[in-house]
Structure 1
Amino acid sequence: MHYFSQLFQYDHPWSHVVIGMWHKYPNPHCSHVQTIDVVDRSVDPETGIIRTERILGCTQKAPGWIVKFFGGSDDAFVREISFINPATQEATITSVNLSLSQFATCYESIRYSPTTDGRHTTFHQTAEVQARMALWRSVADKLENWLVQRFEQNAQLGKVGFTDVLKNLWEAKQQQLAHS
């Protein structure tokens, strides 16, 4: 099993970041995310927690040795479930790959929470990658290493892309308000 973790602070309040979550894709930095389909959305009438389940369709060029060994295609699907709690100002997102999950799984967890001053938002992301090939440990290690490297590359692109999305959403709005 291999792990990835990063901690970052966005220069936007929590409410802006949560609204921005729904505008993250498509963006030029994350061109591998092709489609986003909302499967279910509900609001708990007692707590006000918003639960959303989505399927993300992605394309990524897998190395030849992976395609040769495991088969498959460049198309991949990810199941994402988010919970937004307006009362506690916490947003969590968990995701897991659906494609080729019989060979390897990647469990991702993201948490957005406001900083103590309320002007910024803390982003904490973790991922756990596990190959499911106990008999072939060397192949499993190689696969896990490749998956973590790919995940880290995409995570960095995602952070840059989301920063741009937030900037485009909110700085343009602030400029409009300033000129009004």
Structure 2
Amino acid sequence: MKFFSQSFLYDDPWSIVSLAFFLRYPNPYAAHVISCDVIDRHQTESGSLLTTRLILKRGALPRWAPQGIISRAESWVIEESEVDPFGKFVRCRTKNLDHVKVMQVEETQLFEQNEDGRTVQTTEAYITSRFGWGMTKRIESHGLARFKAHVQRSRQGVSLILDLIRQARLQPMALGSYITHLHSEHSFASTDTPTSSHSSDNVAHVPEDHSSHTTENTWLGKIWGSR
């Protein structure tokens, strides 16, 4: 079993970051996400919102993986979240539903508001393989490396949606219209450009990178250029 833990600080308030988190698909940093559907949503007596979503993701096997180790490249992921508007936190748990013998990834994300009004995101994950045949450690190490890369791209996607929300405040058209147009886009170019952040990682430190985001700017142009 491999364990991953990392914290990340957003300058935006909790309510805005939470909105961006739930609107994060699709985005050009998540080209591996095929679909995302709400299968249950209800409010508790205490006022919390509970949501269950089913997400279909596409993956790729490493070249060293035995042929036929899995039947298909897609994997279903269940996401269960709780939004507490009074405690000002979002807790989200995800895990894959298939290929669990080869590798299962159980992830927990927590968004909380700081005293200074900013938002802290804490991500934890357990990567476990029960495949055996002397390959368990190699599979888990590969899963950990892939997960760390996906965490970075996921935060870039959330940051991109945050930019859309900020820009929507300055545009005459409502945010919902832009999100509708965003979800009508069917092809996104993926990018591996690292994001700059305030982060602490007990697995590996990710350096800041202030390089240009050509793909992101092109994608934003599609959204904001259409009225």
What TM-score, normalized to structure 1?
Answer: 0.90
Q: Report the secondary structure of 2:116's partner residue.
A: coil
Q: How far apart, CA to CA, are the structure 2 residues paired with 1:34 and 1:10?
A: 27
Deviations 1:43-92 (A, max 9, x none): 01x20111100111111221243351513222111111000011100100
Higher percent of residues as helix: 1
Comparing 98-107 with 157-166, which one deviates more in the overlay?
98-107
Amino acid at match of 2:48: I
Task: Write the mapping of 1:1-180 to structure 2, written as runs, cut at 5 A.
Answer: 1-44=1-44, 46-66=45-65, 68=67, 70-118=69-117, 120-133=118-131, 135-136=132-133, 138-169=134-165, 171-176=166-171
Structure 2 unmatched ranges of 5 or more: 173-227
Higher percent of residues as strand: 1
Query: Please, what is the CA RMSD of the aligned residues?
Result: 1.5
CA shift for structure 1 position 103: 2.4
Contact 1:112 1:122 in 2 (8 A): yes
Q: How far apart, CA to CA, are the structure 2 residues paired with 1:67 and 1:59?
A: 18
Q: How far apart, CA to CA, are the structure 2 residues paired with 1:67 and 1:42?
A: 43
Q: How far apart, CA to CA, are the structure 2 residues paired with 1:159 and 1:112?
A: 12
Q: How far apart, CA to CA, are the structure 2 residues paired with 1:38 and 1:71?
A: 26
Deviations 1:110-155 (A, max 9, x none): 000001122x11000011001113x53x300000011111111111
Q: List, as ranges, runs of 4+ consecutive aligned residues in structure 1 with deviation greater than 4 Å.
A: none
CA shift for structure 1 position 104: 2.0
Structure 1 unmatched ranges of 5 or more: none
Q: How far apart, CA to CA, are the structure 1 residues paired with 2:88 and 2:4?
A: 25
Q: Report the secondary structure of 2:60's partner residue.
A: coil
Amino acid at match of 2:167: A
Q: How far apart, CA to CA, are the structure 2 residues paired with 1:72 and 1:64?
A: 16
Contact 1:104 1:131 in 2 (8 A): yes
Matched pairs, number: 172
